[in-house]
Amino acid sequence: MSAEAGPVHGDEPAPPLSPAPYGPVPYAPSAPPEGVQRQRLHPLTPLLESVRFLTAAAAAVGLQMFTSRNFLFAVYAAVAAAVVGGIASLIALQFRGFVIWGRELHIYGGVFTRSHRTVPLDRLQSVDLVRPLRARVFGLAQLNIEVAGGDGTDARLAYLKHDRALELRSELLSIAGRPGAAPQTAVESTEEAPAAGPAPLVPPVTVRKLAVASLLEALPVQLTALLVFGTAFAVTGSIFGFTQVATALWFGFFAPALLGYLQSTVQMVNRFLRNCRFRITRDGGNLLIERGLTDTSHETVPVDRVTAVSFDEPILWRRKDWRRVEVWTAAVAQSAAVVKSTTALPVGTPDEVSTVAAEAVPELSSVFAVEQPPRRARWRMPLRWKRTGALLDEKVFVVRHGWWVNTYAAVPYARIQSVRVVQGPIQRMQGLASVHAMTAGGVGHTATAAHRDVVEAVAMAAELRKRADAAAALEAPRLS
């Protein structure tokens, strides 16, 4: 088809066709030419990634050896596993590696099913350094690479020598034009000194304070479960007899409940270990977060991509006036199935919370006087009504919700993509409606002003859209 179209109305020619479609040029990944040498991962990578399988196999062999008392079987099994594992590792390493070509990172993997992943470094958001315990033993680390618009961690390079991982991290950030302060270059010891660089924004969280906070957060749910099961056991036992009831409850309720208790305890311990030695600093446009006792991590949060800040108040923290600060960014909350956030402060006082909040979103307050829903909505949430509300602040839209863990979510107006008003059948009878504000990239909990008066809800939605458009128009580049 020619660039000039024929006449359409009399002798007036049609306007010429555009030589290229309007809009942004679609991203077209390229591939390195044949023969480019791939950079290899560490030889121990396949073994470290299969550590759970090896642990399960070792437990099975140990159980077999204990029951049959056949020690020779254990020796044969260990030798066979070592030979098979070594051969499999050598084969896997031949097909794994990465190449930096231009402004792209190419990651290769797979033995039977080959994979070739291209990461556009122009869209790079952060490169986090993570050191699981099994990798630290051998002086190794992994890089988690996140790209704007991705779904969680877009790519992972595991494992590399610690020094090499630091060099590669700096190289990727430099290519992307997002330089960030690199974590310490010396191999970590059991008693690490703080990394040289910017001063921490808040004092370190002590081990005692973190342990007390973790225990107080998990205690209400565990005590409530104990009270429910204890009451059920006492009532049914007094009616049907304790022996018969004890057997039935053990197999029907107590055994699953015990597994739940163990899982809850493991989660509490993991949360404590993950947030030990917490340190947050500011370097240019990034928040740099270091944490971890067994598994260490060095995370980068680009301030210009923060979509929301939330403040959590577990029920037993309120007497101590403690809060936890979570920061949400556009690249790590794309999917409702895999929702992530970054803990910017595991537990802190009001002054510490205010400092971190103002660094994540400039001039953001941490104390909000939200307005409660109408009293006619109280029966819908009798325990949460006093702790539910919304506020149109000068810079952010704030919603409050929750009872066990009361949460304030503050969303900058520039990050709001769409606003909708939802009214269910019972709400319609009561003259109520809920306002939902969706953000760029999404927030783990959508900012929702629940059960507002319908006139107020419509006015709030209109004002939100007006403020969001005005704030987003001032941004360059525009995220929302």
Write down the domain spans for the chain: 45-176, 207-262, 280-473
Residue 300 is predicted with a pLDDT of: 87
Residue 11 is predicted with a pLDDT of: 54
Secondary element (H or E) of residue 128? strand 124-131
Going by pLDDT thresholds of 50, 70 and 90, the confidence category of residue 413 is very high
Distance CA 480, CA 477 (A): 9
For 112-116, 167-171, 373-377, 428-432, which range has the lowest pLDDT when averaged over its residues? 112-116
Going by pLDDT thresholds of 50, 70 and 90, the confidence category of residue 313 is very high
**Residue 339 above 50 pLDDT?**
no
- Which residues, in sequence order, are CB contacts of 359 under 8 Å at separation 6+? 201, 282, 287, 303
Distance CA 315, CA 322 (A): 10
- Burial (Cβ within 10 Å: 0-12, 13-18, ≥19) of residue 308: buried
In the chain, % of residues over pLDDT 90: 38
Residue 167 is predicted with a pLDDT of: 92
Residue 114 is predicted with a pLDDT of: 80
Calculate the dihedral angle through the C-alpha atoms of 189, 193, 197, 201, rounding to the nearest 10 degrees.
120
Going by pLDDT thresholds of 50, 70 and 90, the confidence category of residue 341 is confident
**Residue 149 above 50 pLDDT?**
yes
Residue 316 is predicted with a pLDDT of: 94
Which option is the CATH number for 45-176: 2.60.40, 2.30.29, 3.40.50, 1.10.3470? Answer: 2.30.29
In the chain, % of residues over pLDDT 70: 74
Average pLDDT over residues 457-461: 96
